Amino acid sequence: MQAIKIGLFGYGCVGQGLYETINNSKNFEGEIKKICIKNPNKARSLSADLFTTDKNEILNDESIDVIVELIDDAEAAFDIVTTALKNGKSVVTANKKMVAENLEYLVKLQEETGRAVLYEGAVCASIPIIRTLEEYFGHEPINEIKGIFNGSTNYILTQIFSKNTNYKAALADAQKLGFAESDPTLDVKGYDAKFKLSILLTHAFGINVPPAQIINLGIDHLKPADLEYARENELEVKLIARAKRIGDKVYGFVAPQFTKADNRLQEVRNEFNAVSLTGEFCDEQLFIGKGAGSLPTGAAVLSDISALSYDYKYEYKKHFNQATIKFSSDSLVQVYASFDNPDTIDLNDFESIHEKYFSFDHSYVIGNVCINKLKDEKWLNNKNLNVVLCENGVEDTLGKLCVEDLKAEVSELKKGHDLLVKISR
C-alpha cells in the first residue's frame, strides 16, 4: 500500500497529538506533507519548511490524499472541509461545532462528490462511539443514548465532590492543568456536550437535529448551597447528555443531574467520558475512555485517516428513520431549582411540585417542568437560578406530555411563595 500523504490544518493540542501518534505508530503507512497554520512567527519544534499560511497550497495539491482539519474556528473549518470535498479529497475533522451545525449538508455533499468526511475525534475523543453505532448497531434500534460527553466539566465536578471544594476553585484548577480553556463557556454551559449529542442523534436514531433545537443547561450556576444539598442527600452532580426514544419521538437535552452511588456514571471521574447505549436487543452497554487530551483525540483522528485508506464511509444506516421519528422537547422532567431571591422563579412554570424550601438566603423547589420551559431566557441564562435534574424524576417523567392546567397544589404553594416575595421586599 502506498503511504498516505496528509494535508493538516492546525497544529495546536490535537494537531501535535496527531503528529506524535503518526510518528509512533508501528503499522501506519503515512506522513504529514504540509501543515497550514495561522501564526508563522510562533516557535515550533518542526522544520519551518513543513508549514504554510496559504490554505490553497494544501487544498490544491494533487499529491495530498487526505485533508485533516483540526482548527477551532467552525466557519473556517466548514470552508476547508467543503472545499476539500469539492476538490475530490476526503476529509477527517474533529470540529464538533462545525459538524453538528452542518451535518445534513455535509451528508448531501458527500453523496454528490463521492468523497467522505469522518469525525470520530469530534465526539468523546478516545471512545469509538460513532463507528460503533454505524457498524455494530447499524441495524439494531437504539432506545437510549446518554453519558458524560465533556471531560472538562467532569474533571471540575470530580474535584468538587472528591475534595469538598467549590465550583470556582475547581474551575481554576482545571484551567491550570489545561483541562479547561481560559474562556470555559462552551464546556461549562453544556454547548460542547450538546454539539456531540446532536451528531450522535444522527448515528443513533437517524434524525438530523440542529444544536439550536436542543436545550443545554450547564454547571456554572452551581452554588455552595446546592453542593451542600447534594452531599446531605448522598448525591453527586454530573453533566449528562441524554436522548431517549419513546414511541415515535426522541427526547434529548444536556443538563446537570444528581446521581446516586449506584449510578455507573458517578464512577466516571476526572477527564474521562462515558457513553451508555441501550439497544432493543443488546440491552445496555457502557463505553468509557478519555474525553480530552492531545494523544487520545490524536489517536481517534489517526484511526479515521487509516479508515479512509480502505475507502471507509459512514453509511448513515438509520437515515430512513427521518420520516418516522421526530425530535421533541414536549416532555416533563423533574428538576431541583434553587434560587436566592424569590423573584427569580415563577412557580407557574411548574406543572407539579413535590418539595419546597424557602428562606431569606437560599431557597429551592423540586417539581415537574416541561423541557420547553427551560429554553426560556429566565431559566437558561439567569445566574441566580440553578437547575439540576433529579435522577429518578427523569426516569419517571420523561415521555410524559406537558399540560397547561396547573394542579391545585401549585396554586396553594404559590400563595406561600408570593407572601415571601412581599416580605423580602
Residue 135, classified by CB atoms within 10 Å of its CB into exposed (0-12), middle (13-18) or buried (19+), is middle
Angle in degrees, CA 284, 193, 220, rounded to 5: 120
CA 87/CA 107 separation, integer angstroms: 16
> How do beta strands 350-357 and 363-370 pair?
antiparallel
* CB neighbours of residue 126 within 10 Å: 23
CB 148 within 8 A of CB 340: no
CA 413/CA 409 separation, integer angstroms: 6
What the block records as the C-alpha cell of 197 is 449529542
Angle in degrees, CA 199, 205, 206, rounded to 5: 75
Residue 141, classified by CB atoms within 10 Å of its CB into exposed (0-12), middle (13-18) or buried (19+), is middle
Active site residue 97: no
Q: What are the C-alpha distances in Å from 207 to residues 147, 195, 312?
A: 19, 14, 21
CA 341/CA 329 separation, integer angstroms: 28
Q: Catalytic: which of 146, 196, 290, 373? A: 196
The residues that are catalytic are 196
